[in-house]
């Protein structure tokens, strides 16, 4: 039993690190604009398909696709921002429906271009097994974990030390005050969307290397990311990371201790419980219900 738990803890942590990468993008734009980008899952998926294009055309390692994936996701992300900007009334709810519509458009565009075949990496190097003591993983999963940590450290540094990063934080905590301080919130919000695009591109490529992608995957990714965001509470990168790992481990433990058919159920119940009873999330600093 101990061996089982050990492995599922480890597997859960690795899966969780990718949840974190996907969730950070949603958390960032939510922080900056109080807007949930329901098309974020499709952005990640788009990046995954770029990895497929590069790998199948050139035979390179999928990670080589990050620049291309980034270009594509950043452009789409900017387009999403510009559209959201044009919403005049009930911005919070209308943006939800608008980004949802963009998600539908992207899902079907991916279906039209790539058909419904399942895709994943072919690289033997990435698929090979690696063991750490008595626990096992694929190389790609370990790599994704490390990449995820690096990206998060980078994001953390950016938010702390760069002008834009600090401006994002200022706008997140008090939009009016930051405007008085001479920060143009539009520029800052745009920056947040571009960074969310970068995060999506890395997440998508990582996803392609360790899991299987198909066109219908987008909404599931978005929902998972939103669950993580709620568990985390608003306002901290380590919070998102911990919440994502917690979700990954909870899911893996459900499979080990109960049944794999219940994995999604437990995730959703956890989500609702935190939503109802811990309105600030498990790791959040500030209240989020207005």
Partner 1 sequence: MMRNLPAAALLVAALAIPLVFGGNGYIMGLMVSGLIVAGVALAWALLGNLGGMVSFGHAAFFGVGAYTSAILSAKAGLPVPLSLLAGALGAALCSLVMLPALRLSGPYFALAILAYAHIFKILATELSSITGGSAGFQRFPTLPTIAGIDFSSRTGSYALLVVMVALCALVYRAVKRSHVGTALRAMAESEDATRVVGVNATLLKSWMLLLSAFITGLFGAMNAHIINFLEPDYAFSGNWSVLPIIAAIFGGYRTILGPVAGAVLIYLFDQIIAKELLPVGHQILLGLLLAGMILVAPNGLFGLFQTRRKGAPHAAA
Partner 2 sequence: MIRRTFLLSTLLATSLAVAAPALAEEIAIGAHMPLTGSLARSGQAFNEGMQVAIKVFNESQSKHKIKVTVIDDESQPAKAVTAVEKLNSDGAAAIIGGYGSNIVGPASDTSNRLGKVYITGGAVSDELVARGNTHFFRINNNAGYQRGVEGLMQELKPNGISIVASTREAPALLAKGLEESLTKLGFKVTLHPFDPAITDFKPIINKVKLQDKSEIIFMSAYENDYVGIIRAAKVLKPQVKAIVGAWSLATPKMYSDFPDLMQNVIGTTFLPFPVEVKDEEGKKFAAVYKEMFGKEIEYASTLAFVETMVLSEALARAADAGTLKSGGLLAEMKKTDRPSPLGRITFNAVGDNPNFALSMGQHRDGKIPLVSPAASATGKIAYPALPW
Minimum CB distance to partner 1, residue 46 (Å) = 14
CA neighbor of 31 nearest in space, from 281, 221, 270: 281
- Minimum CB distance to partner 1 smaller for 9 or for 223: 223
Residues in 142-181 at the binding interface with partner 1, rule: CB under 8 A = none
CA neighbor of 72 nearest in space, from 270, 188, 187, 204: 204
Number of residues counted as binding partner 1 (CB under 8 A) = 42
Alpha carbon 212 to chain centroid distance? 16
Minimum CB distance to partner 1, residue 269 (Å) = 7
- Regarding 61 and contact with partner 2 (CB under 8 A), the answer is no
CB atoms within 10 A of CB 283: 20
CA neighbor of 192 nearest in space, from 162, 217, 232: 162
Q: Binding pattern to partner 1, positions 92-131, x when CB under 8 A?
A: xxx-xxx-xxxxxx-xxx-xx-------------------
Among 75, 181, 265, 285, binds partner 1 (CB under 8 A): 265
Task: Please state, in angstroms and rounded to a whole number, the distance separating the CA atoms of residues 133 and 115.
Answer: 41
Residues in 191-220 at the binding interface with partner 2, rule: CB under 8 A = 211-212, 214-216, 220
DSSP-derived secondary structure letter, 259: -
| DSSP per-residue string spanning 116-178 | T--B----HHHHSEEEETTEEEEHHHHHHHHHHHHHHHHHHHHHHHSHHHHHHHHHHH-HHHH
CA neighbor of 209 nearest in space, from 64, 87, 96, 90: 64
- Minimum CB distance to partner 2 smaller for 137 or for 167: 137
Q: Which residues bind partner 1 (CB under 8 A)?
A: 36, 83, 86-90, 92-94, 96-98, 100-105, 107-109, 111-112, 219, 223, 226-227, 230, 261-262, 264-265, 268-269, 271-272, 275-276, 288-290
Instruction: State the residues that interact with partner 2 by CB under 8 A.
Output: 3-4, 7-8, 11-12, 14-15, 108, 111-120, 122, 124, 127, 129, 136-138, 211-212, 214-216, 220, 251-253, 255-256, 259-265
């Amino acid at each position: 039993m101990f061996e089982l738990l050990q492995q599922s803890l480890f597997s859960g942590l690795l899966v969780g690190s990718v949840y974190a990468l996907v969730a950070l993008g949603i958390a960032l734009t939510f922080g900056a604009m109080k807007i949930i980008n329901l098309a974020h899952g499709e952005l990640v998926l788009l990046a995954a398909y770029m990895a497929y294009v590069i790998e199948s055309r050139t035979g390179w390692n999928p990670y080589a696709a990050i620049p291309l994936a980034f270009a594509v996701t950043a452009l789409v992300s900017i387009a999403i921002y510009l559209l959201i900007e044009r919403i005049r009334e009930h911005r919070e709810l209308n943006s939800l429906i608008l980004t949802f519509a963009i998600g539908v458009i992207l899902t079907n565009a991916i279906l039209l271009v790539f058909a419904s075949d399942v895709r994943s990496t072919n690289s033997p190097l990435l698929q090979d097994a690696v063991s750490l003591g008595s626990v096992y993983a694929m190389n790609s999963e370990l790599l994704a974990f490390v990449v995820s940590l690096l990206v998060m450290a980078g994001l953390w540094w950016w938010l702390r030390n760069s002008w834009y990063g600090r401006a994002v934080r200022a706008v997140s905590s008090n939009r009016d005050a930051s405007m008085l301080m001479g920060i143009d919130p539009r520029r800052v919000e745009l920056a947040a969307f571009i960074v969310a695009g970068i995060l999506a591109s890395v997440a998508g490529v990582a996803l392609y290397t360790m899991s299987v992608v198909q066109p219908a995957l987008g909404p599931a990714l978005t929902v998972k990311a939103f669950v993580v965001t709620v568990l985390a509470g608003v306002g901290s990168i380590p919070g998102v990371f911990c919440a994502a790992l917690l979700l990954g481990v909870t899911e893996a433990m459900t499979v080990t201790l109960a049944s794999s058919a219940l994995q999604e159920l437990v995730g959703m119940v956890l989500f609702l419980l935190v939503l109802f009873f811990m309105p600030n999330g498990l790791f959040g600093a500030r209240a989020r219900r207005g």
